[in-house]
Amino acid sequence: MVNLKIHPEVQKALDNHLPIVALESTIISHGMPYPQNIETAKECEAIIRKHGATPATIAIIDGVITVGLTNEELEKIAIETKHVYKTSRRDFPYVISQKLDGALTVSGTMIAAKLANIKFFATGGIGGVHRGGETSMDISADLDELGKTDVTVICAGAKSILDLGKTLEYLETKGVPVIGYQTKKLPAFYTRESNFDLDFKLDTPEAIADFILSKESLHLSGGTLVCNPIPEKYSFPKKLIDDAIDQALADMESLGVKGKETTPFLLKRIVEITGGKSLEANIALVYNNCKLAAQISKAYTERK
Question: Mind telling me the catalytic residues?
Answer: 24, 159
Distance between CA 222 and CA 145 in Å, rounded?
8
Given a contact cutoff of 8 angstroms between Cβ atoms, the answer to whether 179 and 198 are in contact is yes
User: Pairing mode, if any, of strands 20-23 and 54-61?
Assistant: parallel
Distance between CA 11 and CA 199 in Å, rounded?
36
